[in-house]
Amino acid sequence: MRAIVCESTGGPEVLQLVDVPVPEPEPGEIRVRVEAAGVNPIDWKTRGGGGPAKSFGGKPFTVGWDAAGVVDVAAGAFAEGDAVLGMARFPSPDGAYAEYVTAPAGHFVARPEGMPVVEAAALPLAGMTAWQSLVDVGKLEAGQRVLIHAAAGGVGHLAVQIAKARGAHVIGTASEAKHELLRELGADEVVDYRSTAFEKVVEPVDLVYDLVGGETAVRSFDVLKPGGLLICLPTVAVADALEAAKERGVNASGAYVRAGGSGLAELVELYTDGKLRILVAETFPLAQAADAHRLGEQGRTTGKIVLTI
């Protein structure tokens, strides 16, 4: 099969399309013929030697964990030919930028009829990250106020919709050009971070979901209610935010997405109920994975980047 393999870590140029053996599933695993693979920030961080790559032992690896396709070898609740989507083996080095991927059956769910495969591939990692952050860690409830930074990005636009579906009052920060879209997705308030200091205009909130990091996290403490919580991703320097929170005597937490954890089935249900839109910024063929990473690293896309296979 064709797969994108990194013989070493580095820039986008280390993503090489090569022929490798088709993987064989272990007991309890399925094999999926991949039709599309989502591209996420953790992918290029891993390619560059950060994130999970630190535990790969210097061996060649394939990045990417979002996969949508058709079951080729069945297990669990799945039959051969079933359409599925999932987050395969995260954070192992056996990634989804390939024509086939294997993973425990519990890492996948059925892809509903009518869900385009490109959208299906865009959902798992970003959607589960948002769900596990807001619901499992943040315990977000109806009537609460939540501030989401980078609200139009891959994780952010899903977080806005999850929070709205749970009955929260949603405030999002994004550039002005993305404000209309965020309102369409359910944001009650939007703030242009380029022209406005959000801490000057946002009324106190119960929860801040920070997908930016740095000074944004520190400034966010100014809008937290007493007893409120700031959640930030490990990839945006969670350690600095936790230290700043300790100094201020407020609450902060990281969030670590788990393959097979909560959220994916619930997200698919929101999609089928018409309460979730999955935005795809651009698609690339598998052979152009390096170009997909170059685009993603600019940090300007609205929604997700997807590889078609």
Q: Are residues 209 and 144 in the same domain?
A: yes
Q: Are residues 71 and 119 in the same domain?
A: yes
Q: Are 140 and 207 within 8 A, CB to CB?
A: yes
Q: Are residues 143 and 95 in the same domain?
A: no
Q: Tell me the three state secondary structure of residue 132.
A: helix
CB atoms within 10 A of CB 33: 17
* pLDDT of 155: 95
* pLDDT of 51: 87
Instruction: Tell me if 271 is assigned to some domain.
Output: no
d(CA 191, CA 179): 8
Q: Are 158 and 130 within 8 A, CB to CB?
A: yes
Q: Which of 159, 162, 135 is nearest to 262 (CA)?
A: 135
Length of the chain: 309
Instruction: Tell me if 15 is assigned to some domain.
Output: yes
Ramachandran assignment for 244, one of left (phi > 0), alpha (psi -120 to 50 degrees), beta (any other): alpha
Structure tokens at 254: 């990281």
d(CA 212, CA 20): 37
Query: What is the tally of structural domains in the chain?
Result: 2
* pLDDT of 237: 61
Instruction: Tell me if 39 is assigned to some domain.
Output: yes
Evaluate the omega torsion of the peptide bond into residue 91 and state whether it is cis, within 30 degrees of 0. yes
Structure tokens at 123: 């959902």
* pLDDT of 234: 66
Q: Are 100 and 22 within 8 A, CB to CB?
A: yes
Q: Are residues 185 and 208 in the same domain?
A: yes
- Residue ranges of the chain with per-residue pLDDT less than 50: none
Instruction: Tell me if 273 is assigned to some domain.
Output: no
Rounded alpha-carbon distances, angstroms, from residue 166 to 50, 159, 212: 34, 11, 23
d(CA 192, CA 227): 27
Instruction: Tell me if 264 is assigned to some domain.
Output: no
Instruction: Tell me if 167 is assigned to some domain.
Output: yes
Domain that holds residue 226: 126-254
CA 95 to chain centre: 15
* pLDDT of 98: 98
Nearest 5°: the CA angle 97, 103, 109 is 95
